[in-house]
Structure formats: C-alpha cells, structure tokens
A = this chain, B = another copy of it.
Amino acid sequence: MLYKTKYLIRLLIITLSVDMIDITLIAQNHPNLILTKPGVEKIRGNMDAAPLFAQTLAAAQNEVDAEIDEGIAVPVPKDMAGGYTHERHKKNFFILQKAGVLFQLTGEEKYAAYIRDMLLDYAKLYPTLGLHPTNRSYATGKIFWQCLNDANWLVYVSQAYDCVYEWLEPAERALLEKDLFRPMADFLSLENPRFFNRIHNHSTWANAAVGMIGLVMGDEGLVKRALYGLEDDQIPEDARDNDGGFIKIEGKNVAGFLAQLDYSFSPDGHFTEGPYYLRYAIYPYLLFAKSLVNHKPDLGILEYRDGILTKSVYALLYQSDPRGAFFPINDAQKGMSWLARELVAAVDITYFHAGDDPTLLSIAEKQSKVFLDEAGFQVAIDLAQNKAQPFAHQSIEYRDGDDGKKGGLGILRMNGTSNSELCLVMKYAAHGMGHGHFDRLSYALYDDDGEVIQDYGSARWVNIDQKGGGRYLPENKTWAKQTIAHNTVTVNEKTQFKGKVKAAEQQHPSRYFFDASNPNVAVVSAKETSAYSGTELHRTMVMINDEQFRNPLILDLFRVEATDSQQYDLPWWFQGHLLSTNFDYTAETSSLSTMGEAHGYQHLWKEAEGKAKEECAQICWFYEGKFFTLTRDAQADDALIFARLGANDPDFNLRHDPAFILRRENTKSTLFASVFESHGTYNPVREIPEHPFGSIQNVTPLYGDAQYCIVSFETKGGREWVFMMANQNASTDAQHHVQVGEKTFEWRGVYALEEK
C-alpha cells in the first residue's frame, strides 16, 4: 500500500512537472512506438504490393501460432545462457514482440490475448523475484543472469505492450505497469547504476529499455532518465565489468542515450568495441530512436550529431567482408553478418528514415525478410518495384574515438582479373574497452569465400551452454586477446602493454596515412609507440592491382625502431593446409611442446622450424579451392616456425589453427617485408589445378631507417617493382631523395610504386 501511494505521488509529480502530458490522450494513441496507427492502416490496405513483407509476416505468424499452440511458459529463472529458463524467457520476448505486430496487422485477437496472458504471468512472477540465483555478473538481472538480458526483454516487450495497450482493460494496464514494467525499469536504472549509467553497449540497451517502456506508459520521468542518465550514480572510478572493462570513462561523467550517441561513436560512425558489438547495440539505438521520432519529432534524434546513427549503420555495413560477415575485431563471434535480425531492422529503418538509398535494398534482398513496420513495408514495396541497386563495398578509413583522433581502421578492397574481391582490414584503433584485444597494427584478409588470413575472434561459443554457459571462456583472456593471436609483431614474447587494459586504454595508435583513391595502388599506414617501451612499430600495407596477377597483391612493410636488442615474432594466421616451402625445416614428428609459458605462447604447439636457404622464404598453401603464396625477405638467422594452436586447452575450447611465424632475435631496428599472392584454383570435381604456383620470385628491402623504406619485388618472369616510402612526412607534396649505393631513388609524396 505504501509503495502504491508513493508510486502514485511520484507519477503525479512527473506528470505535472515534466511535460504536462495528458495521459488520457496518449492512451488513445497506441500503437505509436514502432508501429503507428496510420502506418498500420497503410500496411493493412496494401499488402499485395509488398510480397516480401507479406512473406515475413506469414513466417512470423507460423512461428507465433506454433508457440500459442504449445502454451505459455514463464518459468522461475534459474539457468545461465543456453539453459532452459534463459532460452525460454528469451524466446518469450521475441515471440511477444512478433505477436504484438501480428495483432496490429491481422487484427486477430488471439495474439492480444496471448500477450496479455503471458504478461500477467510475468506480472505475477516478477514481484517474487530476487536477484537471479547465478550471481555471476557485475550487474545480475532478475529474469536472466545479467541485467543486459532483462533490458533486451524490456526493449522487445515494450513494443508488444504498445501494440495491445488500447486493447487491454485499464485495470490490466495498471497491474502490468505497477507489478512489472515500472519496477523493472527502476531495477534496470536506479537499482543498477553501473549497468545503466555507462558509455557501453550494455547501457544502450538499458537506456532504450527504460525509455521505450516510458514512452509507452507515458512516463516522462523514465524517458528523461533514459535520455540523460542518472544524475548521481556514485560509481567508483576503477569499477569494472565482467569482461575487465572499466565502467567509467576517465575524466568524463556522462550517461544516458544522448551521451551514448556522443561518446560511443567516432564522428564517422565507428564504434570502438567493433562491428560485432555494434550489430548488437544497433537494435536498441535504432528502435529507441524510431520511438523518439514517433513520440518526440522535435528532438530530431536522427539528425543528432550530424546524423550519427545513420553513419553508424553504414559503418557497420562497410566493416564486413565480401560476403557481409563482420570483421571479428576485438571480442567477436565469427559468422555474424548483415543477415542478423538487428541488421534487418537497421537496413530498413535507415532506408525509410534516411534517404531511400537504393543500394540498401540489395542487402534487404539478401536478408530475404523485412522489419515488420512501415519502414520494412516500404522496403518490400520498393524491392517489388525493382528499385534495388548493388551495395558497393568501398575502400574506406574509419577514425576511432569520439573526437576521431584515436587511430582507426583502414579497409582496402579491390577486384582482380579473377573478379573476386580481395579485402584487407588493418586495425590501429583505440583499445576496444572491456572487449578490446591487444592487437595494434594487426590485419585480416578476406576474399569472396571468406577468411584468407584470419583474426581469431573471441574464445566464446555464444549461448552454447556446454561451453561455459555461453560466456567468454578462460582462453579468451589467455589466448584470444593476446598479441601473438594476431597478425602483428610480438616483442620479446610479451603481449602489448603486458596485457594491461588500463594502460592500453590510455594510449592509442596513430594513423599515418591512408589513400585508396588510386584504383591500382591503395595504402594504409599507422604507427604505435606505446605498446612496448622503447619501441616504435610502423606498419604500411599496400594493395596492388596489375593485370599480370589474377588477384591483387599485398605488400606488407613492418618497421620496428628500438633502442635495445629484442626478439620479434611476426605470425601469419593463414587458413588452410601447407603445400610447400622453398626452405628446409625440421618437423617435430614424435612429440610436441609448447612455444612458451605465457602471453598466449602456452597455447601454441611448435610443429616445425627451419631456416631460409635463399634471401626469401616462401610458403604455398591451399584453402577452399584456392592456392596462396607468401614471399618474405628472410635474414640468415631468422627462424621460420610452423605452429599450431591447441596447447594448454584442457576443455577443448580452442580451434586447432595453423600459423607461420617469422622470428628475428637479438635485433634493434629492423624491417619486415613480404608479398602475399592469391593465384590459383582447384576443384576436386575437375581435379585440374589452375595457376598452382605464385608469380613472385623475391621481395628485397633495399633501404630502411627511421626516415625511409625502399623495397623491391620481382616476378619469376623478370618484372620488378620498387616501393618507396617516407616514414616521417605524410605530406603528399614533399619531394624525397634517397641514395643507396650508386642508385638514386626520387619520388614525391608519402609513397611511390614504380615498375623498373
């Protein structure tokens, strides 16, 4: 009773003080969160013109009808992700949201009744719940093991509630709001400030959940809390989440949805945690934004920060391989792509609300479904009218940091004469918060079939109960985040920043140069000076198209400047099966040992080691019907190591992937140069190898110091190129001149590639 009185008083105060909104009026204007009354009218009358919408709706109907037949289950929460209660509650919110849409678009009351009945079950259960019994999260939920999933629930269920709002009896609404929605909104915000008041994808869900249910209930207090955060959260500066990420951004005390828009993205829409997490966060970002468009058009949320949400959707689409699978940078499960449900919403909402870009329609076509609102409806109509145009992946650089000054991500793409795309992504972004990997100046390489040189991704099987309840596995920290797990130099067998998140978050790499304007030569170059003390790392990657080669080449120059003698390991995490080398090696045939004790080396078996016979070490390998060759300069003492992942893995959590590692010991400053080729194909049905051998004969560093790098490479047919590079002057006008013995090299700008 006391609670109720307090509640009514609070409601009264909010209603009177904040916006003087007439609750009665709002109550008569549902749905208006995602679906709107006029939108519903339009859709109902024109379904024939939008076959993909009708098809998506029919699939939703089949799914929801089957659930209705099975009956409602609202079990007492107990399990981790992957377990029954978790998966059941998760399914419930997906189904409730769809049932709401179905009620509005078909008018069939059974859907409304199903929502009412299930929500009343939740309203009965919720007040009885303490914290979830697992108690394993920095922010334990009630329905799920973490608040994050409770917030997911509320973002989806707000939509269902909006759809049946007017159909429900006022007493039912009152009960649901009193026992379920309002307590949940408070739990996710007031009672969990570390979860709610943070610049992080978790908090985006929290903000959206509280804001969306606030909009449906007409509770401006909740909406304000969602937009601007809690005023005083009393969170200590050094508080961390389960993934080791800091709750607070040093020196900033901001929170709420608008602050997320200000600080989660770079000015061009890049999301520090990477595309896998942006894919996850984009749903609450866009759904709450769309709700605000409908409820508070004056806020101009889609124009906020120069249209940051639209930019973020494009950033997401561009940060994917030729098949549309997101680059698995930082913690990310591989295979997530623009086919994800969140992207269906993102593509359709962006198309409808931000400019009718016809290239988005071709992605919608691949998704083979649309978002079930007016936006998806328009997409389906325009698809039926053949307005789709191909989505063109572009070479592009994304800056990192809210100010765009914290490094970035360089993406190079070209098609060779084989017409397959080669796509390189080099990472020189800031540390990706709790999900960051110690992988500065690493890269990954893709073609039309997927990975060629891989990034490991995360050591996690999302939602698969058998693997640690679906959470991050211990090997995520001991392996996946470590530097040797990535295609970048590891110094002295130590991970960058010795694996310290705080140190990594305080420094960022710096972009040096990015230019993809020349269709035949594209360059990305960046530096990192703080990951290892007394050591400057500078990598330049060049994609080169020439009609002689079936696919573009990759020239890779990794320059190290160091004051002391050190050991450098540069791995190639090639996908596939080794075919041949041009050097001798000794294989460990009857026993295997690990390559080290820590920093990820404890997870590597050493399979073989050799020395280069010639000035270049070459390996040729085969993967998914294609032949690849890597040619790299090698010094006489360089160790050429074949390693395989899988040691110290008592629970079989890791993949057993191969790597080729060049190790250079007792060296101060040095330059690593290599050329990668994708040159041939083989199909086991035809059994005829096409171009099984690479064309490159050698790659030779001609000059290398802090100021300049000059490298030549030559084909077996005798063609020779020279790549010249200024390391300390990014001006495109500067004139450079280097004398090497009797030869003079002259060029203008940062780099030049010349055929001799």
A residues touching B (Cβ–Cβ < 8 Å)?
Answer: 82, 87, 90-91, 333-337, 339-341, 461-467, 577-580, 587, 589-594, 602, 605, 607-608, 620, 622, 642, 644, 646-652, 655-656, 682-689, 692-693
Which of B82, B686, B692 interacts with A341 by CB under 8 Å? B686
A454 to chain B, nearest CB (A): 15
Q: A644-B656, A647-B589 are in contact. Are A580 and B466 (CB under 8 A)?
A: yes
B592 touching A605, Cβ below 8 Å? yes
* Contact call A685/B82, Cβ cutoff below 8 A: no
Q: How far is the CA of A684 from the CA of B340 in the complex (A)?
A: 9
Q: Which residues of B contact A591 (CB under 8 A)?
A: 591-594
A688 contact set on B, CB distance < 8 A:
87, 90-91, 463
Known A593-B590, A605-B592; contact A692-B649, beta-carbon cutoff 8 A? no
Cβ contacts A to B, 17 pairs, < 8 Å: A333-B684, A335-B684, A461-B579, A463-B682, A464-B579, A464-B622, A467-B580, A577-B655, A587-B651, A587-B652, A589-B647, A589-B648, A590-B648, A591-B591, A608-B650, A642-B652, A644-B656
Distance in angstroms from A264 CB to nearest chain B CB is 22
Q: Cα distance A461–B682 when bound, in Å? A: 10
CA distance A605 to B607 in the complex (A): 12
Closest B residue to A587 using CB positions = B650
Tell me, in angstroms, the Cα distance from A622 to B467 when the chains sit together: 11
Q: How far is the CB of A283 from chain B (nearest CB, A)?
A: 13
A329 to B: closest C-beta gap in Å: 16
Q: A685 and B593 in contact (CB under 8 A), knowing A655-B577, A692-B465?
A: no
Residues in B neighbouring A466, C-beta threshold 8 A: 579-580, 620, 692
Contact status B622-A687, CB under 8 Å: no
Query: How distant is A336 from chain B, measured CB to nearest CB, in Å?
Result: 6
Q: Which residues of B contact A689 (CB under 8 A)?
A: 82, 87, 463-465
| A647 cross-chain contacts in B, Cβ below 8 A | 589-590
Q: Known pairs A333-B684, A336-B685, A607-B646; list 9 more (Cβ under 8 Å).
A: A333-B687, A335-B684, A337-B685, A339-B685, A464-B682, A466-B580, A577-B655, A578-B652, A589-B649
Q: Roughly how many angstroms separate A648 CA and B608 CA in the complex, as a whole number?
A: 11
A335 x B655 contact (CB < 8 A): no
Total copies of this chain within the assembly? 2
Contact assessment for B467 and A579 in the assembled complex, using a CB-CB cutoff below 8 Å: yes
Q: Which B residues are in CB contact (< 8 Å) with A87?
A: 688-689
Q: Which residue of B lies closest to A625 (CB)?
A: B335
Shortest A95–chain B CB gap in Å is 12
In the docked arrangement, what's the CA distance between A605 and B463, Å?
31
Q: Which A-B residue pairs are the 5 nearest by beta carbons?
A: A335-B684, A466-B580, A466-B579, A592-B592, A587-B650
Q: Known: A465-B689, A590-B593, A620-B466. Is A684-B334 also a contact (CB below 8 A)?
A: yes
A275–B341 alpha-carbon span in the complex (Å)? 43
Q: Is the CB of B652 within 8 A of A692?
A: no
> Given contacts A594-B590, A647-B589, is CB(A687)–CB(B462) below 8 Å?
yes
Residue on B with the closest CB to A602? B590
Given the complex, which residues of B lie within 8 Å of A686, measured CB to CB? 340-341
Bound state CA distance, A256 and B312, in angstroms? 72
Q: Which residue of B lies closest to A688 (CB)?
A: B463
Interface contact B463-A687, CB-CB below 8 Å: yes
In the complex formed, the residue of B with least CB distance to A340 is: B685
CA distance A646 to B658 in the complex (A): 12
Chain B residues, Cβ within 8 Å of A333: 684, 687
Q: What residues of B have a CB within 8 angstroms of the CB of A649 in the complex?
A: 587, 589
Residues of B within 8 A of A340 (CB): 685-686
Interface centre among A592, A602, A682, A687 (most CB of B within 10 A): A687
Q: Which residues of B contact A590 (CB under 8 A)?
A: 593-594, 602, 647-648
> Which residues on B sit within 8 Å (CB–CB) of A644?
656
CB nearest neighbor in B for A90: B688
Which residue of chain B lies nearest to A341 when distances are taken between CB atoms in the complex?
B686
CB closest residue in chain B, given A620: B466
Question: Chain B residues near A602 (CB, 8 Å)?
Answer: 590
Output the least CB separation between A60 and chain B (Å): 15
Given A333-B684, A682-B464: A82 touches B692 (CB 8 Å cut-off):
yes
- CB contacts (< 8 Å) of A90 on chain B: these are 688
The docked-state distance in angstroms from the alpha carbon of A648 to that of B594 is 17
- A335 touching B656 by the CB < 8 A rule? no
A462 contacts which chain B residues (CB < 8 A)? 684, 687
**With A and B bound together, what is the CA distance between A705 and B336 in angstroms?**
52
Give the CA-CA distance A580 to B651 in the complex, in Å: 8
Contacts of A608 in B (CB 8 A): 650, 652
List chain B residues, Cβ under 8 A from A464. 579, 622, 682, 689, 692
Q: Which residue of B lies closest to A464 (CB)?
A: B689
Q: How far is the CB of A573 from chain B (nearest CB, A)?
A: 15
Instruction: Look across to chain B and name the residue whose beta carbon is closest to the beta carbon of A578.
Output: B652
Q: Which residues of B contact A622 (CB under 8 A)?
A: 461, 464
Q: In the complex, what residues of B have CB within 8 A of residue A646's CB? A: 607
Return A48 CB to nearest CB of chain B, in Å: 29
Instruction: Provide the residues of chain B in CB contact with A339, threshold 8 Å.
Output: 685
Shortest Cβ gap from A417 to chain B (Å): 14
Q: Are B337 and A652 in contact (CB under 8 A)?
A: no
- How far is the CB of A392 from the nearest CB of chain B, in Å? 22
CB distance from A586 to the nearest CB of B (A): 8
Return chain B residues, CB-CB under 8 Å to A607.
Answer: 646, 652
- Kindly report which residue of chain B lies nearest to residue A339, judged by CB atoms: B685
A34 vs chain B, min Cβ distance (A):
21
A589 to B592 Cα, complex, angstroms:
10
The residue of chain B having its C-beta at the shortest distance from the C-beta of A690 within the complex is B87
Smallest Cβ distance from A588 to chain B, in angstroms? 9
- Alpha-carbon separation in the docked complex, A462 to B687 (Å): 6
What residues of chain B lie closer than 8 Å to A682, measured between beta carbons? 463-464
Per the bound structure, the CA–CA distance linking A687 and B593 in Å amounts to: 35
Determine the distance from Cα of A581 to Cα of B607 in the docked complex, in whole angstroms: 28
Minimum Cβ distance to chain B for residue A208 (Å): 19
**Assembled-state Cα–Cα distance A692/B81 (Å):** 12
Q: A276 → chain B, closest Cβ, in Å?
A: 10
Most chain B beta-carbon neighbours within 10 Å: one of A339, A340, A466: A466
Residue numbers in B under 8 Å from A656 (CB-CB): 644, 656
Partner of A335, one of B580, B620, B648, B685: B685
Write the nearest CB–CB distance from A691 to chain B, whole angstroms: 11
- CB-based nearest B residue for A94: B688
Q: Which of A648, A651, A655 has the most CB of B within 10 A?
A: A651
Bound-complex Cα distance A587 to B649 (A): 8
A692–B646 alpha-carbon span in the complex (Å): 24
- Chain B residues in 8 Å Cβ range of A594: 590-591
